[in-house]
Structure 1
C-alpha cells in the first residue's frame, strides 16, 4: 500500500518509483517490487452488484472467529484463509491480535518485515476476492511503517504491535485506498479491506553506514562522509559527467555481503550534479526506501560485493532528457 510520489535516479534506472513523504491514500502495502508488496492498484475491485442473500461459506474447522465476525484459519506464518460474513462492513478501522508475539515492539520509522494476505470485505462477482498475498511469493514484504509511506490503516494499527504476532486488520476505505469517485485511480477505492499480517522482524529505519572510510576519488563531488554519521555533498565543483554512470565506495560496512537476490533498505541523498542543489534526502523525510538489490547494483556498481552497512556515491549518466545527478547511498539492511 505504498504511495508512489517521489522519483529518484534509482527509480529511473530500475523502472521503480520510490515512495515520497506526502501521506498515503493509495499505493501498495509495502515495497515497490512485486516480490515484496501487493500491487499498487490491487486487483479488480469487489462487485457492485449485491450477491444473492444466501449464507456465506462455512468457516473451516478450527477457525478463529474475530470480533468483527471474520473467521481466520491456518497456522501462524502460514497462508491463512479468511471467511468474511455477508453483512455490512465495519465502519471503523481496527486491529485484533490473533496470536501474540513476544518480540520487540514495532516502532514508528522502522522498516517492518512481514507476511500478509489481503482480501476485500465484499465479494467480487459473489466470490472471495483475495487481491494480494506474500505467502505465495515465498518472500516477506518490507516497508517503512508509521511515517506515511503506506496507507493510513497500516500505520495506525501496526505501530506498537510485537514482533512474532499475527494480527487481523480491518481497514475502511478512508484509511485504505479512499472512497470511490471520479478521481479514483485504484480499483480498491471504496473497498473495506481485511488483512492478516504476520510480523516477522524490523530494520532500524534511521540507520547510516558504519565501517572503514574510503577516500573520495577525483572527479566526484566533495562529500562529508564519516562512519556512523549522515553524509552531505558540500560541493559539485570539478564533478565529471559522462554518458555512463560512475560510482565509488565511501564506507565499507561490516555486515553480510549484499545479496543480489534480496531487497535492500536504503537511505540516500540526491543532488543535481551541475548546480549542487539537493533534491532529496530520505533521512530528513523519515522514509528509508526498499529497492531490489539488482536495481541498485546496476546503477551503483561500487556496491557490488560489498557488505551491508556500506556507503557509495554515484554520478548518474548525463542525458539530454535527464541531467546527471549525484546520489550518496547508504545500505542499512537487506531481506
Structure 2
C-alpha cells in the first residue's frame, strides 16, 4: 500500500458496519483464508500495524506467533508499520530504568529476523505525538465496564509485578486502537490471545464512524491475521512470556538455549508422541522442533520414538540452535553500530509522524474541532 487513504473493505465486510458476530478464534481463522487469498492477489492494497512493548528481548513464542509472519508480509509487498510501544512500559520501574537499552534490543531483534527499515516503518510511541493525541477522543467511545471486561488486560495484571492496576494499563486497549487506527491499518498480525484487544479497536472505529463520519468511514475496521502456529508453551509448561521468565530469547546463545530446554517441563512417559490435549508440555516441544525443521510434530515424534525426554530435548535443542544460527549472526553484526539503530528509529518515527498528523487533522475535521 502506498497511500494513506482507507482501504477497500474485503468481501463480506464494510468499514462502517459491524461484523454480524464479534471476532472469535474460529471466525478469525475462517476469515484468514479469504484474507490470505486477497494478500497474494494484491499485497499493496493492505497496510499492517504490528509491534511490541520493550520489556525485554523477543523470544521464540513471539517469533513463531507473529514475527516470522511480519517478514513474510513485508516480503510479499504489504506496507508495514512496526511499533515499539515504549509508553506502555512506563509503569514498570524495572523496565523503564533502562528503556533505551530495551528499545535498542527490540530494534536489534527486528533487524536480525529480517525486518527491513527500507520497506517497514519502525517507530516508537514517544516519538509520534499525534498518534497519542488520538487516544483522547477514542476514550470517549468506550465505557469503563467494557475496559474492565477485557481478558487480556486481566491476564497482564495477574502476571504483572505491579501491586495495583495503573490507568495506563487499564486503558491499554484504547491506546492500542490509536496505534492501529492512526495509520488506518486494515490487518493486524496477532496471536489468538490478542483478539479481544483487536475487537476494542474495531468497536472504536465503528463508533467513531457512526458518530462523526457523516455517512462516510473515517477508519477501517481492521482484521486479525492469526498465526498459523498454535501457542508455544514456556519451559514451565505455561504460556511463553517475557514477564514469566520461561521464554527462550531469540538472542540467547547456543549454550543458554540448551540449558533452558534441558530444564523444560515434560512428563514421565518414555514413548514420545504428539498429543496436545493430554501431553501439552511434550507436544509443545515437538511443535517447536517441527517449526524449526519445517516438519510436522508427528514426524519429529516418530524419529524420537521411545528415546524419552532426554532424546526429545536433544532434538529440540539441535533444531532451535540450527534455526537461530543465522539470526544470531545478523544480530551480532547489527549490534556493533548502536548509532545506526537510533537512526533507523528516527527515520521511521518521522515517517509515522507524518501519517499520524494527517489522520489527526482528518479526525479534527470530522469532530468539527479545527479552530
TM over 0.5: no
Report which of the two has the higher share of helix.
2
Q: Which has the higher contact order (CA 8 A, sep 6+)?
A: 2
TM-score range, shorter chain: under 0.3
| TM-score (norm: length of structure 2) | 0.23
More strand by share: 1
TM-score in terms of structure 1 length: 0.24
